[in-house]
Amino acid sequence: MSPHTAGPKALPVARRSFLGTLGGATTAAVATAGLSLDSSIAPAAAAAFLDEAPPGDRIAEAYAARLHAADRMAAVPLPAQVSNGDETGVPNYAASYTKALPHDELGHVDPSAYGQLQDALASGETSDFESLTLGPGHRLLTNPMAGLSFDYEGLDPQQFTQPPAPAFASAETAGEMVELCWMALLREVKFQSYGVHPLAAAAVLELDQLSDFNGPTQGGHVTPQTLFRDDLPGCLVGPYISQFMWLDTPFGAEEVDRRMRTLLPHTDHATRFDEWLAVQEGFVPGSERFDPVRRYIRNGRDLAQWVHIDVLFQAYFDACLILGTPPSAGGLGCSLNPGNPYLGSQTQLGFGTWGAPFIKTLLCEVATRALKAVWFQKWFVHRRLRPEEFGGRVHVHKSGRFQYPLHSDVLNSKAMKLLKLKNGSWLLPLVFPEGSPTHPSYGAGHATVAGACVTLLKALFDEQFLIAHPVVPNASGTHLLPFNGPPLSVGGELNKLASNVATGRNIAGVHWRSDARESLFLGERVAIELLKDTLSLGPEDMEDGVSFTGFDGSTITVTPG
């Protein structure tokens, strides 16, 4: 592993300029966060103001609350940010994200253009980003500067970290790529048919024999029930798709029919090298072809398209509406988390705090904080290549045009052989004509938002509540039928919802399993820190906090920060 400094040792200019507007003592405290810091030191003027304020002074109390939140944040040191070393260890930046920059005929990035990107990330200057050399398709990079943003609640985006991504040449990366190839081959197969479909059986067999595969197992082996799933609590129970992606959604006096506009089958993109190279250069050579019939999510292609154009917190807002609406109005009427301070009240209902408007606002609020945290990881720490870029490396390698340090598990994969027979190339077929978004792969934005929003929903609703009338779609995906199987809990189906969204991006060919897994946990940490501040700011007695089940199965109790 090699340490990676996120930008220069001094703060980028945008952050230094902001600090210059603060008082001297506050500037010193913030600028040295992560070093030896006495977070109890406040500016002299602030201390005097608080000392002189009369008892019950509202402004003084509000000011003290904000100072307390800032002190809590400043007491947490900046973590070491560690990349996997591939940027300097693999020639031609072949293991790094380079999409939308200019490339040569093999798909290697122009080194001077990549150097410009590195310089801009180090300086943090808008002018340096505006001077970048983009590929001839002139597709714009997605918001690198978001990783330099501040926040007013929770921790600073740069106080979170993720472990190094699996290395380019590792067996783990090879195993993840083999899984992505099987996902591509199985996009038209219904999730409910995995137990009987021969292609799914072949996928199970190969994944079970890989040197390093981190998907869930049953009895120590990959099975049709574990295929393309996660081992979060509840994710292996019942149908592959969460109930919260099928149940119609009450929206006030309206109702949202969850049948979606999906794509026609067998409409993959970038399966020829010239098309693949054009996509890396910023062009979008293909176009979408849509099914004229709207359907409930049935298979990988449907799920991939759902996560293509969703509002990032859409799935969880839908779930929130389903959970909080009574059955008489089309929802589940789920009870609230037992830690809600108004559950035992004989005189009050929660509303602006710990009631319906509060819950929905907090759910949306955490999404932007999650994005800032993961955008710092993407651009300033890891810069991991997208699976489509890795597929290009495999194709060039197996074509004998250039040799990369690729693990034998991917080079000898049956899934790769089947793709070559089907498409005439070893490229990873993509669901979206533009391929991946124009930002690095690790961590995953969708998965981080999923982890954050689902964590909040578990902290706000009773995760033990059982879904009364679960459903599954019919074979054509045009109607819902009763599901007859094991009981499905709200907590399990929320975890499954997060997994569906994160894994749907993998099925589309734009993310890796480790992107999804580690980003769910990143989002969980972001939500916990936001909750700490939220609990501190309310007037209610919340000393016991709220408890819920974490993604690792442990009980998490969040108390005021």
Question: Do 234 and 368 belong to one domain?
Answer: yes
Q: Which of 4, 395, 397, 439 is catalytic?
A: 439
CA dist 30 to 43, 51, 63, 503, Å? 12, 23, 17, 38
Q: Is position 84 within any domain?
A: no
User: Strand, coil or helix: what is 443?
Assistant: coil
CATH code of 363's domain: 1.10.606.10
Last residue of a domain, one of 41, 74, 107: 74
98: confidence class by pLDDT, cuts 50, 70, 90: very high
In-domain check, residue 273: yes
Catalytic option among 395, 446, 479, 511: 446
b/e sequence 471-510, b meaning 16+ C-beta within 10 Å? bbbeeebeebeebeeeebbbbbbbbbbbbbbbbbbbbbbb
Percentage of the chain exceeding pLDDT 90: 87
pLDDT over 80 at 41, yes or no? no
CA 1 to chain centre: 23
Is 131 a member of any domain?
A: no
Amino acid letter, 73: M
70 and 182 together in one domain:
no
Per-residue pLDDT band for 43 (boundaries 50, 70, 90) equals low
Q: Residue 430's beta-bridge partner residues?
A: 269
d(CA 395, CA 106): 10
**Domain assignment present for 508:** yes
Q: By three-state DSSP, how is residue 96 classified? A: strand
Q: Last residue of a domain, which of 53, 74, 95?
A: 74
Q: What is the mean pLDDT of residues 373-389?
A: 98
- Are 362 and 503 in the same domain? yes
Asked if residue 446 and residue 297 are part of one domain, the reply reads yes
Binning pLDDT at 50, 70 and 90, where does residue 44 land?
A: confident
Distance CA 455, CA 363 (A): 9
The answer to whether residue 192 scores a pLDDT higher than 80 is yes
Name the pLDDT band for 409 (thresholds 50, 70, 90): very high
Rounded to an integer, the average pLDDT of 75-84 is 97
Distance CA 113, CA 29 (A): 37
Q: Are residues 38 and 177 in the same domain?
A: no
Residue 360 CB coordination number (10 Å)? 15
pLDDT of residue 11: 44
Contacts of 100 (CB under 8 A, 6+ apart): 134, 135, 137, 139, 140, 141, 280, 281, 282, 438
Q: Does residue 446 carry a catalytic annotation?
A: yes
Tell me: do 287 and 434 sit in the same domain. Answer: yes
**pTM of the entire structure?**
0.93
DSSP β-bridge partners for residue 547: 557
Region 133-146: what's the mean pLDDT?
A: 98
Q: Is the pLDDT of residue 93 over 90?
A: yes
Residues 496, 485: Cα–Cα separation, whole Å? 16
Mean pLDDT confidence for 410-416:
98
More confident residue, 440 or 364: 440
Tokens 């099975």 map to which residue?
223
How much of the chain exceeds pLDDT 70, in percent?
A: 92
| Interatomic CA distance for residues 348 and 294, integer angstroms | 44
Same domain, 331 and 443: yes
Q: Of the residues 24, 54, 74, which one is the last residue of a structural domain?
A: 74
Shared domain check, 64 and 187:
no
What is the arithmetic mean of pLDDT over 336-341? 97
Count up the domains in the chain and report the number.
2
- How many Cα atoms sit within 13 Å of 116 on the Cβ side? 17
Is 439 among the residues known to form the active site?
yes
Predicted local confidence at residue 209, as pLDDT:
98
Nearest CA-CA partner of 454 in 340, 318, 345, 331: 318
pLDDT at residue number 46: 74
Question: What mean pLDDT comes out for the span 529-541?
Answer: 94
Domain span at residue 177?
171-558
Q: What is the pLDDT of residues 208-261, one digit of tens each?
A: 999 999 999 999 999 999 999 999 999 999 999 999 999 999 999 999 999 999
Determine the Cα–Cα distance for residues 175 and 385; give it in Å rounded to an integer.
16
Tell me, yes or no, whether 189 and 66 share the same domain. no
Q: Identify whether residues 221 and 343 lie together within a single domain.
A: yes
Q: Is residue 242 in a domain?
A: yes
* 64 vs 1: CA distance, rounded Å: 42
Q: Round the average pLDDT of the chain to a whole number and report it.
A: 92
Are residues 50 and 181 part of one domain?
A: no
Q: What is the per-residue pLDDT for 49?
A: 78
Q: Do 518 and 393 fall into the same domain?
A: yes
Residue 48: what pLDDT? 78
Whether 95 maps to a domain, the answer reads no
**Domain contains 308:** yes
Span 287-313, pLDDT tens digits:
999 999 999 999 999 999 999 999 999
Residue 157: inside a domain, yes or no?
no
